[in-house]
């Protein structure tokens, strides 16, 4: 067994005071969490009902009836078939029926998880009481054997775990575990954790190599990483074993999903029924969608549903970290490399196609047809953070930062009141309304979604941002993301308290002070962002100042105080209260072109500065963004950076020398003449802030 040598710093030991992330966390606390609570209770007018709390209430009533010896409720059979159940008469839903998507329970688990993280930053007895009440209801809905998925509790437990491919029970278990561990760690209250353990124990009894145990695995991954988390929280090995079992089984032959589908068919049509051809013969490619087309250790390309994929890779990384298994780690690294070299948007999003909400083929990164689900960028950040726990390498933190500052945050409006599920890189609202191929692309954020996976996912990652900023081992603290915060690290019997002040992502200076120091040595490791060209560190120690600088070409010499490794600056030794470090990362505008294999971006450039990717909007540039091109003479140094306030938020805006082609007059096809252009200034705002000023065109990649 490997050891738990690097892990995120406990959120209770981090206080975020950052003007950027602190504001996002406040939005989650003040807007998203209360709003989501209303949504879970179907009290948001104009939004599709969630049915989430309705389902828990129905299941809890049934459990109570069962305990009292009453007759079990029998649901109509149709509910087994669909992915989503809707009442025949929406005005009069059956109080005992399950409604909504099969995974609707997860909305509440994610809400509880976000509440837990929020409570670590902002104690709130009222909110905690609300969550305690919700937890009571969840626990009341738990079946006597520990099973806890309202869809099957309501519709018939004889069918539990018979459709792992589609029906998300293990996904619900995974989210329940994540929420339960977070809540226990934040509040010290174990009620939900005990319920999650009972569900996990039941899963341990159902799945495994033993006789009579199912050999299956989740159709929608997350249970793998959740079980690892449960193992780390409780020390109970059986949870790690089950996570490993799920990974070991995935994609092996005979294919489990094919087997269970045949069994379902025979159950429904009689055991002597003739199987239709599609069920008799299946091909591995049938299971690409859920990354079950081959054993995980053989996988090298990120494929299938992008959220499922990111969660799987995160679980693989977790298990590889704990077991030290090389083969599994190598698979993680191959897949990582594949994502960042062929399948990653410049906004940190992944998932090029609407078809199956999936990764597309290499270099297929369409801008106006992008899927780039908010949850998929979150999953990528999960994967990156887990790779950092194995090997602190800048390449992981760079991508994590890109995803967090761009696609993840674009998922939420600046006022925290509406959300994107899909995050395109180019929008023409008319096309969204008129072209069914772009039906998945919304030009403005939505209040809520029937399938509301993204907003609560966003709430949980934003409220736990500290766990992405810092990881630690016994004697080292890694700073991966720079944000105003105060972090306390245990070192032996003492503590190191680091106060961080910065105006990231707008300025590349980070001022840090040691507010308390242990007697023993503690290494501080600072990420040197891949986007910075050179930089310097001023290290003030015991009244003596030392300046270390590095250039784009490489670091200065290592010595006993500092060294450079894998994109991190390591500073060693014993610290004293009052010591400090000032880091300066030049934050210059970069003009970026894509590999020529990305056909969509040929002849175009994108603009980035620090971790931020920029986009042009109609609100600043007028219509017809496709007729604007960056002036051919333009180089990064010609771009002006202006700090502005947009919707009450400070943000950098770029002013870029450009040309605007005048719209053509005449017919559809005319003899070619060089375009008539006028000089223009292109204004670009941070991508995460787009679509906050009504409906309009948007583009990240601009012709040059």
Contacts 24+ apart (CB under 8 A), 130-133: 130/37, 131/183, 132/189, 132/191
Among 103, 245, 257, 448, binds ligand FUB (CB under 6 A): 103
Adjacency order of strands within the sheet including 523-527: 7-8, 470-472, 476-479, 523-527, 568-571, 562-565
Q: Is 375 or 397 the residue whose CB approaches Zn ion more closely?
A: 375
Minimal distance in Å, beta carbon 298 to ligand FUB? 24
Minimal distance in Å, beta carbon 222 to ligand FUB? 8
- Tallying the residues shown for the chain, one arrives at 704
Element (H, E) at 40: helix 33-40
Minimal distance in Å, beta carbon 451 to ligand FUB? 5
Q: Is 700 in the site for ligand FUB (CB under 6 A)?
A: no
Minimal distance in Å, beta carbon 373 to Zn ion? 5
Q: Is 220 in the site for ligand FUB (CB under 6 A)?
A: yes
Distance (Å, rounded) from C-alpha 146 to C-alpha 206? 11
Which does residue 517 bind out of Zn ion, ligand FUB, none, counting CB within 5 to 8 angstroms by kind? none
CB atoms within 10 A of CB 459: 30
Among 307, 491, 500, 684, binds ligand FUB (CB under 6 A): 307
Minimal distance in Å, beta carbon 372 to ligand FUB? 11
Is 451 catalytic? The answer is no
Distance (Å, rounded) from C-alpha 7 to C-alpha 149? 30
- What residues have CB less than 8 Å from 38, skipping those under 6 apart? 44
Cis peptide, bond prior to residue 254, ω within 30 of zero: yes
Which does residue 103 bind out of Zn ion, ligand FUB, none, counting CB within 5 to 8 angstroms by kind? ligand FUB
Contact segment (CB under 5 A) with Zn ion among 157-165, 313-321, 368-376, 527-535 equals 368-376
Q: How far apart are the first and last CA of the chain?
A: 54
Minimal distance in Å, beta carbon 5 to ligand FUB? 31
Among 107, 373, 398, 697, binds ligand FUB (CB under 6 A): 373
Which does residue 177 bind out of ligand FUB, Zn ion, none, counting CB within 5 to 8 angstroms by kind? none
Minimal distance in Å, beta carbon 83 to ligand FUB? 9
Which does residue 357 bind out of ligand FUB, Zn ion, none, counting CB within 5 to 8 angstroms by kind? ligand FUB
Is 453 catalytic? The answer is yes
Distance (Å, rounded) from C-alpha 526 to C-alpha 537? 10
Question: String of b and e for 318-330 (b: at least 16 CB within 10 Å)?
Answer: bbbbbeebeebbe
Distance (Å, rounded) from C-alpha 66 to C-alpha 69? 5
Q: Is 121 or 423 the residue whose CB approaches Zn ion more closely?
A: 423
Q: Is 160 or 307 the residue whose CB approaches ligand FUB more closely?
A: 307
Q: Is 286 or 495 the residue whose CB approaches ligand FUB more closely?
A: 286
Q: Is 302 in the site for ligand FUB (CB under 6 A)?
A: no
Which of these is catalytic: 453, 522, 615, 634? 453
Do 318 and 228 form a contact (C-beta atoms < 8 A)?
Answer: yes
Q: Is 287 or 420 the residue whose CB approaches Zn ion more closely?
A: 420
Q: Is 453 in the site for Zn ion (CB under 5 A)?
A: yes
Q: Are strands 476-479 and 523-527 parallel, antiparallel or unpaired?
A: parallel
Contact segment (CB under 5 A) with Zn ion among 169-177, 448-456, 551-559, 667-675 equals 448-456
Q: Is 375 or 548 the residue whose CB approaches ligand FUB more closely?
A: 375
Adjacency order of strands within the sheet including 580-584: 14-16, 485-491, 494-502, 509-516, 580-584, 535-541, 544-550
- By beta carbon distance, the residue nearest Zn ion is 375
Q: Is 47 or 140 the residue whose CB approaches ligand FUB more closely?
A: 47
Which of these is catalytic: 113, 221, 357, 600? 357
Do 687 and 703 form a contact (C-beta atoms < 8 A)?
Answer: no
Q: Is 184 or 459 the residue whose CB approaches Zn ion more closely?
A: 459
Distance (Å, rounded) from C-alpha 413 to C-alpha 374? 13
Element (H, E) at 618: helix 618-621
Number of residues that bind Zn ion (CB under 5 A): 4
Number of residues that bind ligand FUB (CB under 6 A): 8
Do 195 and 149 form a contact (C-beta atoms < 8 A)?
Answer: no
Ranges of H-type helices in 141-236? 150-155, 169-187, 191-206, 223-234
Q: Is 10 or 105 the residue whose CB approaches ligand FUB more closely?
A: 105
Q: Which two tokens stand for residue 604?
A: 């175009």
Minimal distance in Å, beta carbon 236 to ligand FUB? 27
Do 9 and 477 form a contact (C-beta atoms < 8 A)?
Answer: yes
Among 192, 247, 332, 375, binds ligand FUB (CB under 6 A): 375
Q: Is 375 or 496 the residue whose CB approaches Zn ion more closely?
A: 375
- By beta carbon distance, the residue nearest ligand FUB is 307
Distance (Å, rounded) from C-alpha 370 to C-alpha 376? 12
Minimal distance in Å, beta carbon 248 to ligand FUB? 23
Rounded (10°) angle between helices 306-323 and 326-338: 150
Q: Is 410 in the site for Zn ion (CB under 5 A)?
A: no
Maximum CA pair distance of the chain? 85
Q: Is 451 in the site for ligand FUB (CB under 6 A)?
A: yes
- Within 497-526, the residues that bind ligand FUB by CB under 6 A are none
Q: Is 609 in the site for ligand FUB (CB under 6 A)?
A: no
Minimal distance in Å, beta carbon 444 to ligand FUB? 20
Minimal distance in Å, beta carbon 453 to Zn ion? 3
The pair phi, psi for residue 457, each rounded to 5°, is -70, -40
Q: Is 600 in the site for ligand FUB (CB under 6 A)?
A: no
Reduce the DSSP state of residue 516 to 3 states and report it.
Answer: strand
CA-to-CA separations, 66 to 142, 159, 169, 395, 498, in angstroms, rounded: 11, 17, 21, 53, 54
Contact segment (CB under 5 A) with Zn ion among 150-158, 277-285, 452-460, 593-601 equals 452-460
Minimal distance in Å, beta carbon 103 to ligand FUB? 5
- Within 333-372, the residues that bind ligand FUB by CB under 6 A are 357
Q: Is 15 in the site for ligand FUB (CB under 6 A)?
A: no
Q: Is 375 in the site for Zn ion (CB under 5 A)?
A: yes
Q: Is 453 in the site for ligand FUB (CB under 6 A)?
A: yes
Which does residue 451 bind out of Zn ion, ligand FUB, none, counting CB within 5 to 8 angstroms by kind? ligand FUB
Q: Is 75 or 454 the residue whose CB approaches Zn ion more closely?
A: 454
Do 502 and 511 form a contact (C-beta atoms < 8 A)?
Answer: yes
Q: Indicate the DSSP class of residue 69.
A: T
CB atoms within 10 A of CB 418: 19
- Within 574-593, the residues that bind ligand FUB by CB under 6 A are none
Among 186, 203, 303, 454, binds Zn ion (CB under 5 A): 454
Q: Is 15 or 220 the residue whose CB approaches ligand FUB more closely?
A: 220
Question: Residue 23 burial by CB count (10 A; 0-12/13-18/19+): exposed, middle or buried?
Answer: middle
Q: Is 432 in the site for ligand FUB (CB under 6 A)?
A: no
Distance (Å, rounded) from C-alpha 431 to C-alpha 438? 7
Q: Which two tokens stand for residue 476?
A: 């080292």
The catalytic residues are: 357, 453
Interacting residue ranges for Zn ion, rule: CB under 5 A? 373, 375, 453-454
Interacting residue ranges for ligand FUB, rule: CB under 6 A? 103, 220, 307, 357, 373, 375, 451, 453
């Amino acid at each position: 067994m490997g050891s738990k040598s690097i892990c995120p710093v406990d959120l209770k030991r981090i206080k975020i005071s950052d003007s950027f992330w602190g504001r996002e966390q406040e939005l989650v606390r003040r807007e998203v969490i209360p709003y989501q609570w209303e949504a879970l209770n179907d009290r948001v007018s104009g939004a599709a009902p969630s049915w989430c709390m309705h389902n828990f209430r129905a299941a809890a009533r049934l459990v109570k009836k069962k305990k009292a010896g009453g007759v079990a409720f029998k649901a109509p059979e149709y509910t087994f078939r669909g992915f989503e159940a809707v009442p025949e008469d929406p005005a009069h839903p059956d109080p005992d029926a399950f409604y909504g998507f099969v995974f609707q329970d997860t909305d509440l688990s994610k809400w509880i998880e976000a509440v837990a993280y929020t409570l670590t930053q902002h104690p709130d007895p009222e909110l905690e009481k609300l969550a305690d009440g919700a937890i009571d209801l969840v626990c009341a809905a738990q079946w006597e054997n520990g099973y806890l998925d309202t869809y099957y509790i309501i519709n018939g437990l004889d069918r539990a775990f018979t459709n792992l491919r589609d029906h998300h029970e293990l996904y619900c278990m995974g989210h329940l575990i994540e929420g339960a561990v977070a809540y226990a760690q934040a509040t010290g209250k174990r009620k939900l954790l005990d319920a999650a353990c009972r569900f996990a124990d039941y899963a341990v009894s159902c799945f495994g190599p033993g006789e009579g145990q199912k050999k299956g695995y989740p159709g929608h991954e997350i249970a793998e990483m959740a079980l690892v988390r449960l193992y780390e929280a409780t020390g109970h090995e059986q949870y790690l074993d089950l996570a490993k079992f799920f990974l070991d089984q995935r994609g092996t032959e005979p294919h489990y999903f094919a087997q269970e589908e045949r069994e379902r068919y025979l159950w429904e049509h009689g055991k002597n029924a003739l199987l239709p051809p599609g069920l008799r013969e299946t091909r591995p490619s049938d299971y690409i969608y859920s990354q079950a087309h081959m054993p995980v250790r053989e996988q090298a390309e990120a494929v299938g549903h992008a959220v499922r994929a990111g969660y799987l890779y995160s679980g693989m990384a977790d298990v590889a970290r704990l077991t030290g298994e090389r083969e599994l780690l190598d698979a993680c690294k191959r897949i990582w490399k594949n994502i960042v070299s062929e399948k990653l948007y410049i906004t940190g999003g992944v998932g090029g196609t609407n078809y199956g909400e999936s990764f597309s083929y290499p270099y297929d990164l369409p801008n106006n047809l992008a899927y780039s689900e908010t949850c998929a960028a979150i999953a990528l950040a999960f994967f990156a953070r887990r790779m950092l726990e194995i090997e602190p390498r800048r390449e992981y933190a760079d991508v994590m930062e890109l995803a967090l500052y761009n696609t993840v945050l674009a998922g939420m409006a600046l006022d925290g009141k509406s959300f994107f599920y899909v995050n395109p890189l180019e929008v023409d609202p008319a096309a969204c309304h008129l072209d069914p191929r772009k039906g998945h692309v919304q030009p403005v954020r939505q209040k809520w979604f029937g399938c509301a996976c993204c907003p609560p996912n966003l709430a949980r990652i934003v409220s736990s941002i500290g766990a992405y900023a810092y990881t630690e081992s016994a004697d080292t603290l890694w700073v991966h993301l720079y944000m105003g915060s105060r972090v306390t690290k245990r070192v032996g019997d003492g503590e190191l308290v680091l106060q961080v002040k910065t105006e990231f992502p707008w300025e590349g200076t980070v001022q840090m002070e040691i507010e308390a120091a242990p007697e023993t040595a503690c290494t501080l490791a600072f990420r040197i962002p891949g986007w910075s060209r050179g930089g310097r560190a001023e290290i003030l120690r015991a009244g003596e100042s030392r300046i270390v600088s590095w250039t784009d070409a490489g670091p200065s010499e290592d010595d006993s105080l500092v060294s450079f490794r894998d994109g991190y600056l390591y500073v060693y030794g014993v610290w004293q209260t009052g010591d400090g470090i000032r880091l300066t990362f030049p934050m210059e505008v970069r003009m970026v072109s894509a590999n020529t294999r990305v056909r969509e971006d040929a002849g175009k450039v994108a603009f980035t500065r620090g971790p931020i990717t920029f986009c042009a909007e109609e609100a600043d540039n007028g219509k017809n963004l496709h007729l604007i091109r960056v002036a051919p003479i333009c180089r990064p140094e010609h771009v002006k950076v202006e700090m502005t306030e947009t919707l009450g938020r400070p943000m950098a805006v770029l002013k870029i020398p450009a040309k605007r082609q005048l719209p053509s007059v005449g017919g559809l096809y005319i003899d070619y003449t060089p375009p008539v252009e006028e000089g223009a200034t292109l204004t670009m705002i941070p991508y995460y802030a787009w679509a906050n000023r009504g409906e309009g065109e948007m583009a990240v990649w601009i012709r040059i």
